[in-house]
Amino acid sequence: MKKIAIFASGEGSNFKAIYEKIICGNIPAEIPIVISNNPNCGAIFFAKENAISTLIINKSRYPDSDSQDIILEETLLKAKVNLICLAGYMKMLPKNIVANFANQILNIHPALLPAFGGKGFYGMKVHESIIQSKVAISGATVHFVDNQYDHGPIVAQEEVAIEKDDTANSLAKKVLTIEHSIYPEVVKAFCENRIIWVDNQPKIEVVIEN
C-alpha cells in the first residue's frame, strides 16, 4: 500500500477527492501527512477533522529556507512517503524534494498544458486567460513535477468544451469536475504500479477486466 503526502494551500478539493477514493477502497493507499504553507486553509482543517497529521512550512515558522527544506525532507522520509500529490499548493517545491522524489510527485493543473501554464498561471487567473483567448476547449492536466512551474511529463489530460456564454467562473466549475475525476484515476494507477515509462514518457496501463 502506497503512502501519499498531500501538499495544499487552499480548500483542497482535489485532496478530498483522492481521500474519498482511498476511504472507499478504490485507491490502495493511505495519507500519513498533509503539508501546507497556510495554517488556516481548508485542506488543513479537513486533515485535522480526519485525524491526518499536518505540517505547516512557511517563513513565519521557519525563517531559514534551508531549515524548511531539511524539515520537509525529514518529514517525508519519516512518513515513508511513496507519492507526493500537489493539490493547489502555491509554492515551488524545494530542489532537494524534487530530486529525492523524482517521478513520484504529481500535480493537477486546470488547463491543457503546455498552454496556459507556468509562473503566474494559477487558480482563476488560468480560467480568465482562457476565456479572454477565445479558444474552443480547455480541460485539466495531471503531470509529474520537475523544477519548473507546470512542467514535467504529462500523464493524463481531459478536455471540456467552452461554450459561448461561459465565464471564468463557469469554466472553473466544469474543469474542477474533470479534475476530481482525472486526478484520482492517475493516483490509482500510480498506486497500482500501472504507470510505465516509454521513451521517457509516462503511460497508464489499462487493466481489462474479464
- Residues annotated as part of the active site: 109
Cβ-defined contacts of 66-72 (< 8 Å, 24+)? 68/94, 69/94, 69/96, 69/97, 72/35, 72/97
Fill in the amino acid letter for 57.
Answer: I
Fill in the amino acid letter for 71.
Answer: I
d(CA 168, CA 128) in angstroms, rounded, equals 5
Tell me the torsion sign for CA atoms 40, 11, 45, 118: negative
Tell me which residue of 95, 81, 66, 99 sits closest to 35, measured CA to CA. 81
The grid coordinates listed for 162 are 467552452
Name, in order, each residue with C-beta under 8 angstroms of 98's C-beta and a sequence gap of 6 or more.
105, 145, 146, 147
Q: Which phi and psi angles does 144 have, rounded to 5°? A: -75, 150
